[in-house]
Structure 1
Amino acid sequence: MPRIINVKGFIIPQEYEWAYAWMGYPYTTAAMVTKALQQANGEDVEVHINSYGGSTYVGSEIYTAIKDYKGKVLNKIVGLAASAASIVAMAAECLISPTGEMMIHCASTGNEGNYRSMDDTSQMLQVTDRTLVNAYVLKTGKSAEEIKSLMDAETWLTPQQALELKLVDKIMFVEDGQLDSTVQLQPVAALHEGFIVPNTDIVNELIKCGNVDAFKEKFMKGFNGQYVPVATLDIDENEKGVQKMTVNEFKEKHPELFNQITNEAKEQGANEERSRIQAIESIAASIPRNLIEDAKYNNPIDAKELAFVAAQDAAKKGQQFLDNLKSDSTSSNVEKVDAEAELSKEESEAEEANALAAAMNKDSRRVR
């Protein structure tokens, strides 16, 4: 039983893996394929291809790894082998599903700058195209000029056409003569609108941000009570200006990312609420229960705010106590009681004399 190695989704550099994984987009890196080949260790291998393509350099690395493998490799196009994925298909004997497709075209990239920069980019792309031609020529035996003309036209191929051009070796499950090639090769203008791939605008912005937290900070700051993003998403779309995406549009175009962000926000909210309740309980012993319950459920506040409210409540009760004490004092007429009348001068002198006599009588040092 051969080992199965999948080349699915986008063919991407390994440094972008985290972004595609977070988005939930299928992807393949050269490291994934080379590791699988190492683990196969010379055993028979089947490479199942269903990919939109991606980086030509990563596609080249995968192509080289398969060509260099010491065991037997059989490529199977089970869906689509487009762009860089078609280069991978050229690395070994290749079968295609009766419902499969192949697309070959010239390399493309984005650039900005003056005319020298544009000239340099054009030269780079022409070199890339010429190296890609090599893979098709080695597989088919056709001339470089014939292959280049197919690439220039961005050619989409049925299984029959791919077989006729020797880009594949056999159509799976089909005997010779069962299928006829009735579709003429056409330029991209007639077919390319049907080429549907997941929208990569979001993942490109995610990569620009550098990490998930930075992406959320830039685009997902606001959450309403249900933790649904309320901020708009601004994306520079092919230098045509800024596209403002509403929440509903974002949800419709990127339901998986929308649900993931929503679920993460719910989880974060639940954790924060749990921490808030625990903090309140940690100071509950010194605070009236009615304030605790109110802070938890009726008027939610954190432990610091509750401590302040409790201090205010205690101060209010203290002032009330003083006010009540003053009121009771007033009601008892205690403030109206006269002070003890002062003694007359004669009475005061008599008191002093009596006190002196009493003291002398108690003095043990006095001779009797």
Structure 2
Amino acid sequence: MEMNPDLKAILRRLVEMKEPEIVLRGKVGGEMESYVFWAFAYLRSIGSPDILIMIDSGGGDSDCGHEIYDVIRLYKGKTTGLSIADVHSAASMIMQGCDHRQMTLHARMVIHNPSRSSVSLDTLESSKKHDALVTSLRSYQKALIRCYMDRTKKTEQVIKKQLAQDQPMTAEQALSFGLIDEIV
């Protein structure tokens, strides 16, 4: 996997930090996924120190979000996720991968059912393609529900109801629901 020059510069700064922090800001996608992959590879190479992951994202690609979630979840050092503003959609999944989850008082979290923004007319008009899309989204929904159930200890029905609401939650609501551990 080729690393872009901007990513190299960011990782050099990570190497220089005494207490490592990773900032995930902007759209969840391939660039963020690559950054997380390389940053955590470096962190594992130096003994997996505890790390703060600051998150400010309106969401993005659910597949990338799930992969970032797994990288964080499987990391041996302690991970603390801190939402400094928005932690929506795929970013909320990423937050669940952290050992300890924090939000600032003014931050907002959104969890919702999965969607695909770039669906062609061909997909919608072809029953075979349409069915494949629905199957894919249901599969991802099951993964989301499992993740949220594990972290919140809520039932599948409660999680599904919250996903269907697709509304911003305050830090207090996210704490009450079990999506975070602390308001800072």
Tell me, what secondary structure is at the counterpart of 1:155? coil
In the TM superposition, residue 49 of structure 1 has moved relative to its aligned partner by 0.3
In the TM superposition, residue 149 of structure 1 has moved relative to its aligned partner by 1.3
Kindly provide the CA deviation profile for residues 125-160 of structure 1, in whole angstroms up to 9, marking residues without a partner as x: 111111111111111111122111111221310000
Tell me, in whole angstroms, the C-alpha distance in 1 between the residues paired with 2:165 and 2:120: 22
**Which residue of structure 1 lines up, in the alignment, with residue 104 of structure 2?**
97
**Which residue of structure 2 lines up, in the alignment, with residue 152 of structure 1?**
164
Matched, 1:37 2:40: yes
**Which residue of structure 1 lines up, in the alignment, with residue 6 of structure 2?**
none
TM-score (norm 2): 0.81
In the TM superposition, residue 122 of structure 1 has moved relative to its aligned partner by 1.5
| Superposition pairs of residues 334-345 of structure 1, within 5 angstroms | none
**Once the two structures are aligned, what percentage of the paired residues are identical?**
26
In the TM superposition, residue 115 of structure 1 has moved relative to its aligned partner by 2.7
Matched, 1:7 2:13: no
Tell me, in whole angstroms, the C-alpha distance in 1 between the residues paired with 2:177 and 2:19: 28
Which amino acid in 2 is paired with 1:100?
A: A
8 Å Cα contact 1:63/1:91 also seen in 2: yes
8 Å Cα contact 1:111/1:118 also seen in 2: no
Tell me, what secondary structure is at the counterpart of 1:149? helix
Which amino acid in 2 is paired with 1:116?
A: K
Tell me, what secondary structure is at the counterpart of 2:27? strand
Tell me, what secondary structure is at the counterpart of 2:58? strand
Tell me, in whole angstroms, the C-alpha distance in 2 between the residues paired with 1:53 and 1:138: 21
**Which residue of structure 2 lines up, in the alignment, with residue 123 of structure 1?**
135
- From 59, 72, 78, the equivalent of 2:84 is 78
Which blocks of at least 5 consecutive residues in structure 2 are unaligned? 1-17
| Superposition pairs of residues 189-338 of structure 1, within 5 angstroms | none
Which amino acid in 2 is paired with 1:102?
A: M
In the TM superposition, residue 37 of structure 1 has moved relative to its aligned partner by 1.7
Tell me, in whole angstroms, the C-alpha distance in 1 between the residues paired with 2:149 and 2:62: 17
Tell me, what secondary structure is at the counterpart of 2:130? helix
Aligned CA distance change for structure 1 residues 111 and 124 (closer, same or farther; 3 Å): farther
Tell me, in whole angstroms, the C-alpha distance in 2 between the residues paired with 1:86 and 1:150: 13
Which amino acid in 2 is paired with 1:159?
A: A
Matched, 1:50 2:24: no
Kindly provide the CA deviation profile for residues 236-294 of structure 1, in whole angstroms up to 9, marking residues without a partner as x: xxxxxxxxxxxxxxxxxxxxxxxxxxxxxxxxxxxxxxxxxxxxxxxxxxxxxxxxxxx
Moved over 3 A (4+): none
In the TM superposition, residue 2 of structure 1 has moved relative to its aligned partner by 2.8
In the TM superposition, residue 70 of structure 1 has moved relative to its aligned partner by 1.1
| Superposition pairs of residues 135-174 of structure 1, within 5 angstroms | 135-172=147-184
Which amino acid in 2 is paired with 1:127?
A: S
- From 52, 74, 78, the equivalent of 1:68 is 74
TM-score (norm 1): 0.42
- From 117, 123, 145, the equivalent of 1:133 is 145
**Which residue of structure 2 lines up, in the alignment, with residue 87 of structure 1?**
93
Alignment RMSD: 1.3
In the TM superposition, residue 168 of structure 1 has moved relative to its aligned partner by 0.3
Tell me, in whole angstroms, the C-alpha distance in 2 between the residues paired with 1:66 and 1:116: 35
**Which residue of structure 2 lines up, in the alignment, with residue 329 of structure 1?**
none
Tell me, what secondary structure is at the counterpart of 1:54? coil
Relative contact order, higher structure (CA 8 A, sep 6+): 2
8 Å Cα contact 1:106/1:154 also seen in 2: yes
